[in-house]
Amino acid sequence: MAHLSLKSLTKVYPGNVTAVEAADLDVADGEFVVLVGPSGCGKSTMLRMIAGLERITSGTLKIDDKVVNDVEPGHRNIAMVFQNYALYPHMSVRRNMAYGLKNEGKPKAEIEARINEAAQMLRLTEYLDRKPRQLSGGQRQRVAMGRAIVRQPAVFLFDEPLSNLDAKLRTELRAELKALHDRLRGTFVYVTHDQVEAMSLADRIVVMNAGRIEQIGAPIALYSRPETRFVAEFIGSPAMNFVEGVLGEGGAVLVSEGREVLQFDRPIGLAGSGFVVGLRPEHMKPSKGGFARLRFRRVFDEQLGADTLIHGTLDSGPTRVILRVDGALHLPDAERLEVGVAREHLHLFDPKTGLRIDT
């Protein structure tokens, strides 16, 4: 197994499209790192540079302290799983898995042994002689994983491997992937645009935005201390609510367009012109108490069983707000609600730079 190091890695496509800009990242041996971000932010490009499928414009890429910028993909000691499986359609499952090993010149007996082991691990033994087209989507993706596993690569790369599967299968395979990682202790780099997948799989998440790395951290760290407004909005579902305004007199009230939008128990001890206050739906309690309070105008409820999402706006203006409350909670049928949030659940951001402001 191996560690991976990216130093100011940059990719500029023809036509001057900068897909990845000066990315720095270190992935430790055996770590599960997930690259996440909205569509077009450069996740796939970054992964493909690691794989060697895309030329690196500038910067250095090291696998186990060896610079591999100009090494062919087959010689980088990596394996990749693609979104659309990319299995060789004319080869049986067994031959699909064997192909890479055969090209490496491994002896037949060893190839056979590795395939059997991987097939057992992935519950594919009975499908070994089938062609890919005779398998379901989930099975195909497991074959693709098997093809990666038998190579025993230093780094496993995944580009949205679960995106073509239905929701139930996705959850199943997610658990399987996690178990696989625990078992193989391999170095995994995994791309997804699904933040739930990222949260549940990753040791560390890399959030990307428009070609740049916004923040790197453990899932819980990103959730509880997002460094930028972008990360705050991207991580967590439903997304964080944002209330924008300037501090009013006394510093204990947030004002927007002349109307009070948020009241604090005491001054939050910050000078400055404007703020964006981030409030997670699950941290907003429909009660009179709480460090920060706002008045909420309820538009409709969405009952999900365990939780209920209450959609609405600020009473003072059009800013949309979502509350997430316990499904068993019975709220008065009122249109207006008082909502409170605890001190430690407030996130403050600079409205211009989007950076977190510590209080």
Partner 1 sequence: MVENRPLANILTHAVLILGVFFLCFPVWMALVASTHGPEAMARAPIPLWFGDQGLANYREILSGGVAHAGGVPVGKMMLNSLLMALGITFGKIAVSLLAAFAIVYFRFPFRMGFFWMIFVTLMLPVEVRILPTYDVMVKLGMLNTWSGLIVPLIASATATFLFRQFFLTIPDELVEAARIDRAGPMRFFWDILLPLSRTNIAAIFIILFIYGWNQYLWPLIITNDEDLYTVVMGISRMVNAGESRPVWHLIMATSVLAMLPPVLVVLAMQRLFVKGLVETEK
Distance, in Å, from the CA atom of 186 to the CA atom of 170, rounded to the nearest integer, reads 21
Provide, rounded to whole angstroms, the least separation between the CB of residue 37 and partner 1.
21
52 binds, options Mg ion, ligand ATP, partner 1, none, Cβ within 5 to 8 A by partner type: partner 1
Residues in the interface with partner 1 (CB under 8 A) total 26
- Which residues between 171 and 200 bind ligand ATP (CB under 6 A)? 193
Residues 6+ apart with CB under 8 A from 347: 226, 232, 240, 277, 278, 279, 356
Provide the token pair at 193. Answer: 């645009």
Under rule CB under 6 A, residue 43 binds ligand ATP: yes
Pick what 131 binds: partner 1, ligand ATP, Mg ion, none; C-beta below 5 to 8 Å, kind-dependent: partner 1
**First and final C-alpha spacing in the chain:** 42
Residue among 8, 88, 123, 267 that touches partner 1 (CB under 8 A): 88
**272 interface partner picked from partner 1, ligand ATP, Mg ion, none, CB below 5 to 8 A per type:** none
- Identify the CA nearest to 128 among candidates 106, 103, 95, 150: 95
17 sits near ligand ATP (criterion: CB under 6 A): yes
> Is there a contact between 287 and 338 (Cβ–Cβ < 8 Å)?
yes
Conformational region of residue 66, where left means phi above 0, alpha means psi within -120 to 50, and beta covers everything else: beta
Cα–Cα distance for residue pair 306/108, rounded to 1 Å: 53
Per CB under 6 A, 44 contacts ligand ATP? yes
Phi, psi of 286, deg, nearest 5? -75, 85
Cis peptide before 351 (omega within 30 of 0): no
Residue whose CB is nearest to Mg ion in the complex, by number: 44
Nearest-approach distance from CB 45 to Mg ion, in angstroms: 8
| Minimum CB distance to ligand ATP, residue 192 (Å) | 8
- Count Cα atoms within 13 angstroms, Cβ side, for 149: 24
Residue 19's binding partner among Mg ion, partner 1, ligand ATP, none (Cβ under 5 to 8 angstroms by kind) is ligand ATP
Residue from 3, 5, 64, 99 touching partner 1 (CB under 8 A): that is: 99
Query: By CB under 8 A, what part of segment 133-162 binds partner 1?
Result: 133, 147, 151
Among 6-14, 41-49, 129-137, 142-150, the segment contacting Mg ion (CB under 5 A): 41-49
Q: Which of 2, 4, 9, 19 binds ligand ATP (CB under 6 A)?
A: 19
Sign of the CA dihedral with 82 first, then 85, 91, and 95 last = positive
Query: Among residues 13 and 88, whose Cβ is nearest to ligand ATP?
Result: 13
Contacting residue, 13, 287, 334, 336, with ligand ATP by CB under 6 A? 13
Give 104 or 117: the residue with its C-beta nearer to partner 1: 104
14, burial (CB in 10 Å: exposed 0-12, middle 13-18, buried 19+) = exposed
Residue of the chain from 82, 92, 224, 313 that contacts partner 1 (CB under 8 A): 82
d(CA 30, CA 206): 16
Measured between alpha carbons, how far is residue 137 from residues 134, 222, 230, 292 in Å? 10, 32, 33, 48
CB 189 within 8 A of CB 50: yes
* Beta carbons of 115 and 150 less than 8 angstroms apart: yes
Write out the two tokens for 134.
Answer: 């005779």
Contacted by 129, from ligand ATP, partner 1, Mg ion, none: CB < 5 to 8 Å by type: none
Give residues in contact with Mg ion (CB under 5 A): 44
Give residues in contact with partner 1 (CB under 8 A): 51-53, 72-75, 78-80, 82, 84, 86-90, 99-100, 103-104, 131-133, 147, 151
Give residues in contact with ligand ATP (CB under 6 A): 13, 17, 19, 37, 39-45, 193
